[in-house]
Each structure stands twice: as structure tokens, then as C-alpha cells.
Amino acid sequence: MKAVDPFDLVIFGGTGDLAARKLLPAMYHRHVAGQLPDEARIIALGRKDLGREGYLESIFDKSSANIGAAYFDAERWRDFAGRIDYLQLDASSDENFAALADYLRDASSRIRIFYLSTSPDLFAGICQRLAHSELAQPSSRVVLEKPLGRDLKSADEINACVETVFDERQIYRIDHYLGKEAVQNLMALRFGNSIFEPLWSHGKIRDVQITLAERLGVEGRGEFYDTTGNLRDMVQNHLMQLLCIVAMEPPISMDADNVRDEKLKVLRSLEPLTPETVIKNVVRGQYQAGNIDGSPVAGYLQEPGIPADSRTETFVALKARINNWRWAGVPFYLRTGKRMHDHVSEVVINFFGVPHPIFPHSQEAEIPNRLYIRLQPQEAIEWHLMAKQPGDRNVLKPVKLDLDLAGMNERHLDAYERLLMDVVRGNQTLFVRRDELNAAWQWVTPIMKTWAALDQAPEPYEAGTSGPAAAHDLVARNRRRWIEEH
């Protein structure tokens, strides 16, 4: 594997969950793959006085567990850890930034990535201090974690501030769903083959469903989650980005702006929501106590750090429409939640059934074709078709054409591996541009406003189930069913 150019990865929020669970394991895998040049360094920053050894100890359990037993090797980890250093830094201290600048001075011309894995409230201040301490150089890049802001206004203010320091070409707004292998494959399938294009539109497609279901609850992130909620945590970013990839027109090339122009058009074609359509077409849920994998789990309100009267949503289901020539009349059903029945992320394209059934002996001849693009737990693409059952009669049965992604490669890169290497290489194709982000915030604004004005509690659902009854009604109204009910 070809090594990338020398770089420093500076992680603000280095003691946070994301660093230990995702960023460091991602860099470990790239280190083991031989993609990191000898000079590449990782500098984790945090407020705690841990020292380098203390830091390495503090992240070890989470990082090694997330690397996975099959890939973790103690010697390689020691070798990799040689690249990591830890500095104590308070994001509001000018002196601490001066000390950081001193620390980094010896290699000032190399690519320097500032990864802001902190609360978005700190983004603007950090960028200003990077500028004052002369750390924002033409070779610097800044990665902004999601959710970027709380609404359109705050996102725009943060972006405006970041852009006084960094040029748009240096800003990488990350949405790790775009780095997932199956999402790349969905683009490959759509734009690397000619057979899908004539099928990819209204008249052929009856509806599209996107589900991001998690079994996990809020996992010790109670305070963050309660002030964020599912709409900001999953819908405004991951779900809407997936929707864009499914619905976008073929870009003229894979260049960053060509791809992002097409995604932006999808966001701008979404039918705007009104208070009436929010009430009718958006379901907000919150989990109650239940069972996951046979073990009892607490309800959201009983989780540590959650106020007993919290109305924060842990589940959202909605129906969206894209008003353009390709998609007019096709409902897009989107759904995501915590503590659901399954851990599954998938896009399902439901095609219309045959216009005139001619196999009278087949009970199942009416089953329409369906394309599954599964992101999790196992990346897969399946085409569900009807075929003849062997025998002397013309009886059909459903079969699967399976694109065996697991068989193509020994190991699929984690989304963060790909995206971090893209930042080093300066490739912004899989990162969100400011106008896209604004369009996504704009579309969810009526949802936030209507919920605030209604002042109602979310619909309860039992942990370990597929969400509140209202989510089923949402699709049943149009004589549809969610994927798992088929």
C-alpha cells in the first residue's frame, strides 16, 4: 500500500469516546497496512493532566476492543503507540495554544490536520486560537465532527467563524456514514453499471426505505444525547446524506464539487415540511424499559444523566418526498432509533410488482423485486427476484442475487480509516460542503419548530421493538410495511 505524505493528526477531544473508539483504531489499521509514513504523528489533546503514559493507558481498553481481537497485536500496538503523544490543553487558554504551537514548530510545513471532536460550541474559538498561534497554515486542514451546530443559525455562525480562518478547501465536515464501504458500493452500483439507471426512478420504484436501527442506548453519553436528540444526532446528517446518495443524479465526475453539487440538488428538491405535514408525516419516539437480546434494559428516562421529565426523542420516522422529474410521487420512508429490535442499517428499494401476473400457481408471484443495500451489521447488496422453482410446473419462488462484498476483500476499511486518509490526501468528495449542511438544517427546521410549539411528549416505545405504533401507521396509511414486516 502506498504511504501518504507525512502529517500530524492533532485531536481536540483526545480523551473523548470517539478518539478511543474510532480515530485511534482507524490509524492503527492504517499503520499496520503500512500506509503511514515514519514521520506521521498523532497528538491527542485534552483537559486532563494525564501525561503520555497515562493517556495511552486510558484509551487502551476501548481502542484494543474496537480494533478487534482478530487484528490486535500487542507488538504492533506498541510500535503504533510510539506515534502518539498527549498534551494537556484547555481550549480557551491562549497560553496552551502557544505551547501547542511550540510543540509543533519543528515540522511546520507538513500536512497538519486539526480534528475537532469536541462540542460544536468550541469550534469557532479553537479555530480563532489556531489562527492567533499561527497554526492555521496553508498546509493545515480542519475536520469538524457532527452535529455541526444545533440549527441552521448556529451552524451558519460556526461555519462563518471557521471560514475566517480556513478556506472551504481546508474544511472537512465529516459524516462517517459517507465513508462506509456499502455507501461507496451503492455509488459504484448506480454509476458503474448501465442496467440500474433506467430502473432508478418513479414508475419503476414504488418506495424507498432507509433504516438506521441501533440496539444500543445512550451509552454513558446521557448529557450530550439529551441536549442533542435523534433528529440532530442521526437524521439531519447520516439519514439525509444516505438519502442524497440514493436519489442524486449521476455526477459528471467523482470530483468533490461535482458530487456535492448533485447531493445539494436533492436536498433542495425535498418537499418543504409544514407544521401540518410534520404532525402527519414525522413520528417522534422515546424508548421505555424493555428487553434487548433477552436482558432487561432501562428506559431512556432512567438512564444516567437524563432528566426524569426529558422529552428528547430517541427515535424518528418520517416520510419525505423529492419533487423533481426522477422522484415525483415516490415516498421515501426514513427511520432511525436507539434501543430498537435489531442493529441494522439498510436502504431498501422497493420496485413495483409485475403489471399482469401470469403464473397462477405461484402464491408468491406478487412479491415485488427489491434491492437491499445493507451497511450494517454485515455490508451486503442483495437483489430479490422471482425465479422458477425446479419441477414440472411453473411455480415461482423468491431468490436472492447476492453481491458478496465480504468475499471481495479480506477486510473492509472502517469508515474513519477511509475518511482520515482522504483528509491526508486532500480529497473532499466524501465530506459535506457548507451549502449542503445548510440545506439539510433548513429542511429539518420545521420539525424542530413544530415539536417545540406542540409541547408534547414523544411517543413511547418498548426497548427491543421496532419503534412506536405511530411509525407503523405512517407506512400502513399508504398500504406499505417496513422492511422487517415483509
**Cβ proximity of 320 and 307 under 8 Å:** no
Among 8, 233, 303, 422, binds ligand BG6 (CB under 6 A): 233
Nearer residue to ligand BG6 within complex by CB, 344 or 424: 344
As measured in angstroms, the least distance from the Cβ of 70 to ligand BG6 is: 19
- Residues numbered 181 to 210 that lie near ligand BG6 (CB under 6 A) are none
Helical pair 256-269 and 434-454, crossing angle rounded to 10 deg: 30
Among 8, 214, 346, 422, binds ligand BG6 (CB under 6 A): 214
Q: Is 211 among the residues that bind ligand BG6 (CB under 6 A)?
A: no
- Residues numbered 357 to 376 that lie near ligand BG6 (CB under 6 A) are 376
Nearer residue to ligand BG6 within complex by CB, 233 or 313: 233
As measured in angstroms, the least distance from the Cβ of 357 to ligand BG6 is: 39
- Residues numbered 370 to 409 that lie near ligand BG6 (CB under 6 A) are 376
Nearer residue to ligand BG6 within complex by CB, 44 or 239: 239
As measured in angstroms, the least distance from the Cβ of 310 to ligand BG6 is: 16
Which grid coordinates are listed for 418?
477511509
Among 159, 345, 350, 466, binds ligand BG6 (CB under 6 A): 345
Question: Does residue 238 carry a catalytic annotation?
Answer: yes
Nearer residue to ligand BG6 within complex by CB, 251 or 337: 337
Nearer residue to ligand BG6 within complex by CB, 22 or 260: 22
Cα–Cα distances (Å) from 238 to 20, 69, 305, in that order, read 21, 28, 25
- Tell me the residue nearest to ligand BG6 as measured from the CB: 233
The residue from 29, 176, 238, 341 that is catalytic is: 238
As measured in angstroms, the least distance from the Cβ of 330 to ligand BG6 is: 25
As measured in angstroms, the least distance from the Cβ of 415 to ligand BG6 is: 7
Count of chain residues binding ligand BG6 (CB under 6 A): 6
Query: Mind telling me the catalytic residues?
Result: 238
Q: Which residues bind ligand BG6 (CB under 6 A)?
A: 176, 214, 216, 233, 345, 376
